[in-house]
Amino acid sequence: MTSSTKSFALIDCNSFYASCERVFRPDLAKIPIVVLSNNDGCVIARSAEAKPFIKMGEPYFKIKDQLRRHNILAFSSNYALYGDMSERVMMTLESRLPSVEVYSIDEAFADLTGLPEPLDQLGYSLRADVLQITGIPVGVGIASTKTLAKLANAAAKRWQRQTGGVVDIRDPERRDKLLKAMPVEDVWGVGRRMTEHLKAMNIKTAWDMSNADTATLRKRFSVLVEKTARELRGISCLDMEPTAPAKKEICSSRAFGQRVYDLKGLQEAVASYTTRAAEKLRKQQSLCKVIQVGVRTGLFNPDEKHYARSLQCHLPYPTDDTRLLIQAAMQGLDHIYKEGPAYAKASIMLLDLCQRNEYTPDLFAPSQPGGTDHLMQTLDQINQRWGRNTIKPARVPASPGWGMQRQLLSPSYTTRLDQLWVAR
DNA sequence: TCTGGGGTCCTAGGACCC
DNA sequence: TCTGGGGTCCTAGGACCC
For A48, A124, A151, A210, A372, the CA distances from A183, given in Å and listed in that order, are 21, 26, 10, 12, 55
Count of domains in chain A? 3
Is residue A254 one of the residues assigned to a domain?
A: yes
Through-space separation of residue A20 CA and nucleotide C18 C1' in angstroms: 16
Judgement on whether residues A166 and A284 belong to the same structural domain of the protein: no
Whether the CA torsion A201, A203, A209, A212 is positive or negative: it is: negative
Range of the domain at A163: 1-170
User: What confidence score (pLDDT) does residue A1 get?
Assistant: 41
Question: Is residue A41, in this structure, part of any structural domain at all?
Answer: yes
**Which residues of A in 299-338 have their CB below 7 Å from strand B's atoms?**
299-301
- Residue A135 beta carbon within 7 A of nucleic strand C: no
CATH code: domain of residue A304: 3.30.1490.100
* Residue A24: inside a domain: yes
Residues with Cβ within 8 Å of A34's Cβ and at least 6 positions away in sequence, in order, are A18, A43, A45, A46, A47, A50, A54, A67, A72, A73, A74, A75
Distance A290 CA to B12 C1' (A): 24
Nucleotide nearest to A198 (CA to C1'): C15
Whether the beta carbon of A104 falls within 7 A of nucleic chain C: the reply is: yes
Which residue blocks in A97-210 are alpha helix, DSSP H?
A: 119-134, 146-158, 160-163, 172-181, 192-200, 206-210
The mean pLDDT of chain A is 91
Residues A96 and A52 grouped into a single domain: yes
Tell me the pTM.
0.91
Tell whether A195 and A322 lie within a shared domain.
no
For residue A264, pLDDT over 90 is answered with yes
Burial pattern A83-113, b for ≥16 Cβ within 10 A else e, equals eebbebbbebbeeebeebbbbebbbbbbbbe
Of the two residues A8 and A2, the one the predictor is more confident about is A8
Domain-terminating residue out of A170, A191, A206: A170
Which nt sits closest to A189, CA to C1'?
C16
- A12 and A144 part of one domain: yes
Backbone dihedral region for residue A15 (phi beyond 0: left; psi -120 to 50: alpha; all else: beta): left
Nucleotides of strand C lying closer than 7 angstroms to a protein CB: 14-18
Tell me the CB-side half-sphere exposure of residue A68, using CA atoms within 13 A. Answer: 5
Does residue A108 contact residue A102 with C-beta atoms inside 8 Å?
A: yes
pLDDT of A393 above 60: yes
Judge if the beta carbon of A200 is closer than 7 A to nucleic acid strand C.
Answer: no
> Is A12 near strand C, with its CB below 7 A from some atom of it?
no
Distance of C1' in C10 from CA in A317, Å: 20
Q: Is the CB of A254 under 7 A from strand B?
A: yes
> Residue A255 domain-assigned?
yes
- Cβ contact A82 with chain C strand, < 7 A: no
- In contact, A287 and A353? CB cutoff 8 Å: yes
The rounded distance, in Å, linking the Cα atoms of A327 and A305 is 29
Q: Label the pairing between strands A286-297 and A308-319.
A: antiparallel
pLDDT at A225: 94
Query: Does a structural domain hold residue A11?
Result: yes
| Residue A225, CB, strand C, below 7 Å | no
Contact criterion met (CB below 8 Å) for A168 and A123: yes
Positions in chain B where some atom is under 7 Å from a protein CB: 1-11
Q: Are A87 and A99 in contact (CB under 8 A)?
A: no
**A2, pLDDT greater than 50:** no
- pLDDT for position A418: 81
Q: A76-90, A136-150, A176-190, A289-303 — which is least confidently predicted?
A: A289-303
* Cβ neighbour number for residue A411 with a 10 Å cutoff: 16
Query: Could you say which DSSP state residue A374 is in?
Result: H
Based on the domain organization, do A200 and A233 belong to the same domain?
yes
Q: Residue A28 and residue A19: Cα distance in Å, rounded? A: 10
> Using an 8 Å Cβ cutoff, are A229 and A212 in contact?
yes
A395 within a domain of the structure (yes/no):
no
Same domain, yes or no: A221 and A285: no
Can you give the CATH number for the domain in which A225 is found? Answer: 1.10.150.20
pLDDT tier for residue A104 given thresholds of 50, 70 and 90: very high
